C-alpha cells in the first residue's frame, strides 16, 4: 500500500515558505476535531467555514451553557465565532485566518453552487498546495456540502487553467451499523490513510482547542484527541447515497434528507457545468 502524505506537504517549500493548506470545514470546531494537531504542527493555514454554526431551530442549540444562553441566532453565531478565535489562538493562528461564508447551520446544501464558487475564489487567491475537507459520508448535511464545495472548487480551479491543489480529507462522523462512528473514514478500497498519533504537545493543544468550544462540550465529548486520520480524497458521487441505509442526519431527524441533498447536489453540478 502506498504511503499517504500529510496534506500540504507533497512538494518541498520554496524560499523558506511552507505550502499553504486551506481547510474547508462546515462549522467552527470541525477543523479542531479533524485536524487540530496538524494545525498546531504547521502553524500556518487558511480556514473556510461554510456556515456560522448556528441553526435557526433552537431544538439544535445545546441545552447546557457555561454562561448566559444567547437570545438570538445572531448572538449564537457570534458566540461560535468567539470560541473559534480562542481555539485558533492556541494553534498560533490569527482570527483573520478563518473566513465564514455565511450559510446557516444545516442550510449549506441549499447554497451549494454559490459556496463552491466562493471556495474557488479562495483557492485562486491563496494558491494552496492542498485542500483539506470533510469526506462525503452522510454524517451531517453541512459536512457533505463541504465535501461537495471543496471538490467542485478544485475542479473549477483546474478549469480556470490553474494548477489545482491536492484534495485531502479529515475524519468527521457517520452512521455505521446503525451507530455513530467518529474519527474513522468509511472504507475506500485502495486509498491509503495517514494515521498520526499526536505528540504530548499536540494532544495538550488539541484538548485546549476543544475546550474553547464551550457551547459544544456535550457534542465534542464523543471524539478522541490522541490521533488524527487523513487520506487523499477518493472519487465520490454526491448525487448518490454515501452508504446503504439511513444517513446519520436522517436518524437525527434533520429537515434535510439524503435524497434531497443528492438532488440539490445534482442541480448544483449542472449549474456549475461540472461532470457528474
pLDDT tens by residue, 99-155: 999 999 999 999 999 999 999 999 999 999 999 999 999 999 999 999 999 999 999
Closest C-alpha among 234, 251, 254, 259 to residue 57:
254
Here the cell at position 208 is 485546549
pLDDT at residue 103 in the model? 96
- Does residue 185 have a pLDDT over 80? yes
Domains and CATH numbers, the chain: 21-272 (3.40.50.10320)
pLDDT at residue 5 in the model? 55
- Does residue 1 have a pLDDT over 70? no
- Does residue 9 have a pLDDT over 70? no
Share of the chain above pLDDT 90, in %: 82
pLDDT band at 43 (very low <50, low <70, confident <90, very high): confident
* Rounded Cα distance, 183 and 139, in Å: 12
pLDDT at residue 15 in the model? 41
pLDDT band at 12 (very low <50, low <70, confident <90, very high): very low
- Does residue 65 have a pLDDT over 80? no
* Rounded Cα distance, 54 and 76, in Å: 6
Share of the chain above pLDDT 70, in %: 91
Name the phi and psi angles at 173, rounded to 5: -160, 160
Question: In whole numbers, what is the pLDDT of the chain averaged over residues?
Answer: 91
- In sign, the C-alpha dihedral spanning 89, 101, 58, 109 is negative
Quick: pLDDT tens for 188-231. Answer: 999 999 999 999 999 999 999 999 999 998 889 889 899 999 99
Collapsed DSSP state (helix, strand, coil) of residue 167: strand
pLDDT band at 275 (very low <50, low <70, confident <90, very high): confident
- In sign, the C-alpha dihedral spanning 240, 245, 250, 255 is positive
Amino acid at each position: 500500500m502506498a504511503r499517504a502524505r500529510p496534506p500540504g506537504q507533497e512538494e518541498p517549500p520554496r524560499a523558506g515558505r511552507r505550502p499553504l493548506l486551506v481547510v474547508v470545514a462546515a462549522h467552527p470546531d470541525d477543523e479542531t476535531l479533524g485536524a487540530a494537531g496538524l494545525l498546531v504542527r504547521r502553524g500556518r493555514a487558511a480556514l473556510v467555514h461554510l456556515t456560522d454554526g448556528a441553526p435557526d431551530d433552537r431544538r439544535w442549540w445545546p441545552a447546557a451553557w457555561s454562561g448566559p444562553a444567547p437570545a438570538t441566532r445572531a448572538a449564537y453565531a457570534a458566540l461560535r465565532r468567539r470560541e473559534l478565535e480562542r481555539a485558533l489562538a492556541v494553534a498560533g493562528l490569527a482570527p483573520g485566518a478563518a473566513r465564514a461564508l455565511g450559510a446557516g447551520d444545516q442550510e449549506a446544501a441549499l447554497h451549494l453552487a454559490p459556496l463552491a464558487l466562493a471556495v474557488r475564489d479562495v483557492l485562486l487567491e491563496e494558491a494552496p498546495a492542498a485542500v483539506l475537507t470533510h469526506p462525503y459520508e452522510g454524517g451531517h448535511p453541512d459536512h457533505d456540502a463541504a465535501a461537495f464545495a471543496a471538490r467542485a472548487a478544485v475542479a473549477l480551479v483546474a478549469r480556470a487553467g490553474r494548477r489545482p491543489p491536492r484534495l485531502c480529507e479529515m475524519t468527521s462522523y457517520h452512521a455505521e451499523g446503525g451507530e455513530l462512528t467518529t474519527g474513522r473514514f468509511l472504507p475506500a478500497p485502495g486509498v491509503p490513510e495517514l494515521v498520526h498519533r499526536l505528540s504530548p504537545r499536540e494532544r495538550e493543544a488539541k484538548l485546549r482547542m476543544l475546550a474553547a468550544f464551550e457551547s459544544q462540550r456535550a457534542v465534542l465529548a464523543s471524539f478522541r484527541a490522541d490521533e488524527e486520520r487523513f487520506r487523499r480524497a477518493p472519487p465520490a458521487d454526491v448525487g448518490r447515497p454515501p452508504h446503504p441505509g439511513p444517513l446519520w442526519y436522517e436518524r437525527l431527524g434533520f429537515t434535510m434528507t439524503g435524497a434531497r441533498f443528492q438532488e440539490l447536489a445534482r442541480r448544483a453540478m449542472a449549474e456549475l457545468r461540472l461532470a457528474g
